[in-house]
Amino acid sequence: MKVSTSSVADAVTGGRAGALDLIQLGIQAMTQSFTRPRMHERLLSEAGVRADRASIIILFKLGHYLDNVGTMRITDIAALVGVDTPAVTRKIQQLEHQGLVSRCVDPSDRRSVRIALTSAGREVLEQVMRAHRALLDRLFAEWSPAELAEFASHLTRLTDSLTTEVESYRD
């Protein structure tokens, strides 16, 4: 879905409401584009990685959160991914069989298991991240450094606002 020049002009003349409508359309278009199965398949192909979407999502979550905590419980991974614990348990078993994650006993609760990325899991994640970076580089190829920096600044501000909003729902 492309946004036309006339849509941008309408947003400018439509004030805040018009601009918000255009932002909403843009976010919807990006979400649809980035979550398409073919996009996922292409990125993994470019990365030289063979994995399903669920595996990559779990590796991303582990990669992001494990930098802070080292290991995670399966129930915590399930909450981050937004699926039930048995589904994550099965996926973790597959990833463990592939050598991408490892299990260890939780020292605070010996009945519980914690999950860690292996070096092979980190390498797969890095390959996928390089493919994502290459995609972004293609998407922003025509942007000047100043335009890119300004967009990054606005996107960071939006992300911070969204994070604050979502965190307020927990209370």
The three-point CA angle 144-150-156 to 5° equals: 135
Residues 55 and 30 in one domain: no
CA distance 77 to 73: 6
Q: Give the CATH number of the domain where residue 78 resides.
A: 1.10.10.10
- pLDDT, position 4: 57
Q: What is the mean pLDDT of the chain?
A: 88
Residue 128 belongs to a domain: no
Residues 66 and 118 in one domain: yes
Residues 91 and 114 in one domain: yes
Residue 131 belongs to a domain: no
Residues 24 and 54 in one domain: no
Mean local confidence (pLDDT), 51-61 = 90
Question: 31-54 pLDDT, tens per residue?
Answer: 898 888 888 899 999 999 988 888
Helix (H, G, I), strand (E, B) or coil at 72: strand
In this predicted structure, the answer to whether residue 166 has a pLDDT above a threshold of 70 is yes
CA distance 43 to 65: 22
Residue 55 near residue 91, CB atoms below 8 Å? yes
- pLDDT, position 157: 96
Residue 84 belongs to a domain: yes
Domain residue limits at 31:
1-35
Contacts of 82 (CB under 8 A, 6+ apart): none
How far does the chain reach from its first CA to its final CA, in angstroms? 36
- pLDDT, position 35: 84
Domain count, the chain: 3
- pLDDT, position 100: 96
Identify the sign of the CA torsion 89, 125, 32, 159. Answer: positive
- Whether the pTM exceeds 0.85: the reply is no
Mean local confidence (pLDDT), 88-110 = 91
Residues 59 and 111 in one domain: yes
